[in-house]
Amino acid sequence: MVLNIGVPNARQRLFLLDRHRHVAYGGARGGGKSWAVRAKAKLLAMRYAGIQILIVRRTYRELLNNHIQPLERELAGAAQYSRSEKLFRFPNGSQIVFGYCAGEADLGQYQGAEYDVVFLDEAGQLLQPWIEAINTAVRGVNAFPKRTYYTLNPGGPSHAYFKRVFVDRHFLPGEDPDDYSFIQALATDNDALMRAQPDYLRQLEALPPRLRAAWRYGAWDVYEGQFFEEFADRPEHYADRRWTHVIDPFPPDPGWTVLRSYDFGYGRPFSCAWWAVDYDGVLYRILELYGCGPTPNEGVRWPPEKQFNEIRRLEQEHPWLKGKQITGVADPSIWDASRGESIAQTAGRCGVYFTPGDNRRIAGWMQCHYRLQFDAQGYPRMYVFSGCRAFIRTIPLLQYSNTQPEDLDTAQEDHAADEWRYLCMARPVRPMARQAEPAAVFDPLDQLAGR
């Protein structure tokens, strides 16, 4: 039997032909993701007799609207749908099964199950542990391909995970880079949508700048719910290169003050940064020492003495630091001596000295926001040297707390943010009275170039 799936656009064709173990498709609204999932599932079911395919969305209603009802029309005469079992059966023994996952309780339906291919549609809305649990069902001793396909947009609970593996391509032990492929698709790639709804682009262009960047252009460094949405670490996104906080390193002026900020960690990362302050009071994050283990938000488990000896060594040897009288600010909790020598006392023994930082959270975050503000000419009051990778990686991923609207979610990797907050509270500034918005010139193909 011949099944007509229609004509894919160029991006959808790449998705249909991709044979990596993990294939992600999308990155922006309107990229034709649901069609691509249905088309690939149908092709696999017709090509491999007896293959078992699973399509997952967060809720059954989404499955019904986006896949089951369209497939009932598209597979009429080619496969039979069982409403009680929520699956399509093909004459060759293949099956397309539908599952949902709105919470941990729903994971039980995948325990012990075996599928050859799984599609996680709108995967960014699922938590990473759920994704990992469902992926354990991709197994079998047959010769069928074993793959997981993801469709996704920037944002959602698993944004950080997908950005790491598919966009930044930062892999952890046990993850093979050759297993992962990302196909960026924009609304403009969806010819059918452009013909049927030509005003859709105008709707996307009317969104606020940061949301427009994510939904229209698929920018993974900005997304809904981002705590520091004004942090601009991608200068190529703006017509004027002044609109950025991340700059190339340069030797600070010898007359500038150098400060140190610190957040203790053991099981979680510790974070230490050195800041130069120019004659106008502008901050420059020039160096950092970040104690992160092999997985995000895991500490290297250095005892305090080892941390401070390394800090002292850097201050004695690094050309930007040696010879400077450096003062530091840290979380006031390190002065707790109720269980013996405090962490601050250990630091002093190693020749590293701090003063207690102001730990007020909301006021501190506002000082961080004020530092990130651009003036009308496109200049902020703080910069980050491009070598400070922990700051650049973690700050854009921080999101608002679900319980404290003005605070960030403390379950995230917020250690660089915390020591930055102590530093900003030690050098407070007033909010700018007047700001301007940079002119965005996002390149739709930017993240296909390896970013």
Same domain, 326 and 403: yes
Are residues 253 and 200 part of one domain? no
| Same domain, residue pair 250 and 203 | no
Q: End-to-end CA distance of the chain: give it in Å, rounded.
A: 42
Quick one: residue 281, left, alpha or beta (phi over 0 = left, psi -120 to 50 = alpha)? left
User: What pLDDT does 14 receive?
Assistant: 94
Q: Do 299 and 158 lie in a common domain? A: no
> Phi first, then psi: what are they for 165, rounded to 5°?
-85, -35
Do residues 138 and 115 make contact, with C-beta atoms less than 8 angstroms apart?
A: yes
Given 163, 184, 209, the domain boundary residue is 209
The dihedral built from the CA positions of residue 218, 220, 226 and 232, taken in this order, carries a sign that is negative
As beta bridge partners, residue 95 has 52, 89
Distant-in-sequence, close-in-space partners of 268: CB < 8 Å, separation ≥ 6: 297, 298, 299, 415
Q: What is the domain-level CATH number for residue 81? A: 3.40.50.300
CA dihedral 42, 45, 47, 50 (to 10 degrees): 180
Q: Do 158 and 412 touch, CB atoms closer than 8 A?
A: no
Is the domain of 191 the same as that of 298?
Answer: no
Whether 231 is in a domain gets the answer: no
Handedness of CA 165, 168, 169, 175 (dihedral sign): negative
Sign of torsion over alpha carbons 211, 215, 220, 224: positive
126 domain-assigned: yes
192 lies in the same domain as 264? no
Output the six-digit token pair for 89: 């059966």
Query: What are the beta bridge partners of residue 115?
Result: 138
241 domain residue, yes or no: no
Do residues 114 and 203 both lie within one domain? yes
Residue 136 lies in a domain: yes
Quick one: 188 and 270 in the same domain?
no
CATH number of residue 324's parent domain: 3.30.420.280
Task: Give residue 211's pLDDT.
Answer: 65
In a shared domain, residues 288 and 162: no
pLDDT of residue 314: 97
Structural domain containing residue 77: 10-209
Residue 439 falls within a domain, yes or no? no
pLDDT of residue 396: 86
Q: In what order do the strands lie in the sheet with 283-291?
A: 246-247, 382-385, 283-291, 270-277, 257-263, 327-330, 354-356
- pLDDT, position 444: 35
- Residue pair 28/217 in contact (Cβ under 8 Å)? The answer is yes
Evaluate whether residue 4 is within a structural domain: no
**Helix (H/G/I), strand (E/B), else coil: 29:** coil
Residue 432 covered by a domain: no
Q: Do 199 and 152 share a structural domain? A: yes
Is residue 90 domain-shared with residue 23, that is, in the same domain?
A: yes
Choose one of 180, 209, 238: the last residue of a domain: 209
Answer yes or no: is 257 within a domain: yes
Q: In this structure, are 321 and 275 located in the same domain?
A: yes
Q: What is the pLDDT along the chain (451 residues), one digit of tens a residue?
A: 667 778 898 899 999 999 999 999 987 777 789 999 999 999 999 999 999 999 999 999 999 999 999 999 999 989 999 999 999 999 999 999 999 998 888 999 998 999 999 999 999 889 888 999 999 999 999 999 999 999 998 877 788 889 889 998 989 889 999 999 999 988 888 877 788 887 787 777 776 566 677 778 777 876 667 789 888 765 444 444 567 899 999 999 999 999 999 999 999 999 999 999 999 999 999 999 999 988 888 999 999 999 999 999 999 999 999 999 999 999 999 999 999 999 999 999 999 999 999 999 999 999 999 999 988 888 899 999 999 999 998 998 898 887 776 889 898 999 999 999 999 999 999 988 655 555 544 343 333 333 3
For residue 107, the tally of other CB atoms under 10 A from its CB is 16
Residue 40 contacts residue 119 (beta carbons within 8 Å) = yes
Residues in Cβ contact with 139 at an 8 Å cutoff, skipping those fewer than 6 apart = 114, 146
Number of domains composing the chain: 2
Q: Six-digit token pair at 114?
A: 């075996």
